[in-house]
């Protein structure tokens, strides 16, 4: 459940999605900008992470920079969805897996250090499940990622 966010928490979540200070004491710099104490910033970030509203404060890497990844999809018969999802999630290479409303109802992202390993993960999933795995590798990226403007309702 969503917990009420303070103004400080909202600003930390929305205004610092990019441009986090590369300075010796970045939280103190943010605190100065927001006119609060450094400990208030650190405590707010800790609370946001505990509640899950904040995944982390850190670097977001360009796709396919460290390792190779692909989006992949399968058309899984509904009655087999649980077991196939479990099979897919069993691979450490799989970092995201979503059920979606479509004939292709299982969409996951797999990442490996090498293209050959990535391919064998997809091949194995296909062979073990008996369901074709369609690969949707990224051909070109059109988004300049500066974060995502949050709207509070």
Partner 1 sequence: MSATPAGLRQSAATHAAEYDELDRRIIVATQDGLPRVARPYHAVGEQVGVTAAEVMARLQRMLERGVIRRIGAVPNHYKLGYRANGMTVWNVPDERIRELGEQVGALASVSHCYHRPRHLPGWPYNLFAMVHGHDRNEVEAKVAEIARLLGDADRGHTVLYSTRILKKTGLRIGG
Q: Within positions 105 to 134, which residues make up the interface with partner 1, using CB under 8 A?
A: 106-108, 111, 113-116, 118-119, 122-123, 126, 132-134
- One residue of 34, 40, 42, 87 binding partner 1 per CB under 8 A: 42
- One residue of 35, 56, 79, 130 binding partner 1 per CB under 8 A: 56
Shortest reach from residue 32's CB to partner 1, in Å: 13
- One residue of 6, 33, 102, 128 binding partner 1 per CB under 8 A: 102
d(CA 14, CA 33): 14
Query: In degrees rounded to 5, what are phi and psi of residue 35?
Result: 55, 45
d(CA 28, CA 120): 47
Tokens of 104: 């292709």
Polymer length in residues for the chain: 153
**Quick check: 85 binds partner 1 (CB under 8 A)?**
yes
**Quick check: 87 binds partner 1 (CB under 8 A)?**
no
**Quick check: 20 binds partner 1 (CB under 8 A)?**
yes
Q: 6 or 89: whose CB is closer to partner 1? A: 89
Residue closest to 55 by CA, chosen among 95, 85, 26, 93: 95
**Quick check: 51 binds partner 1 (CB under 8 A)?**
yes
**Quick check: 8 binds partner 1 (CB under 8 A)?**
no
Q: Which residues contact 95 (CB under 8 A, 6 or more apart)?
A: 109, 110, 111
Calculate the CA dihedral of residues 96, 60, 44, 7 and round it to 10 degrees. Answer: -100
**Quick check: 17 binds partner 1 (CB under 8 A)?**
yes
Q: 4 or 35: whose CB is closer to partner 1? A: 4
């Amino acid at each position: 459940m969503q917990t009420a966010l303070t103004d400080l928490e909202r600003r930390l979540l929305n205004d610092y999605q990019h441009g986090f200070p590369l300075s010796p004491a970045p939280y103190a710099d943010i605190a100065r900008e927001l006119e609060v104490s450094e400990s208030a910033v650190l405590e707010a970030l800790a609370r946001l992470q505990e509640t899950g509203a904040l995944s982390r404060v850190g670097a977001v890497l360009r796709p396919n920079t460290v390792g190779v990844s692909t989006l992949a999809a399968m058309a899984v018969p509904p009655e087999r969805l649980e077991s196939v999802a479990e099979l897919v999630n069993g691979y450490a290479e799989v970092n995201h897996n979503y059920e979606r409303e479509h004939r292709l109802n299982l969409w996951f992202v797999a990442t490996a250090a090498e293209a050959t390993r990535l391919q064998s993960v997809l091949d194995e999933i296909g062979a073990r499940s008996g369901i074709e795995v369609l690969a949707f590798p990224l051909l070109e990226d059109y988004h300049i990622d500066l974060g995502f403007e949050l709207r509070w309702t």
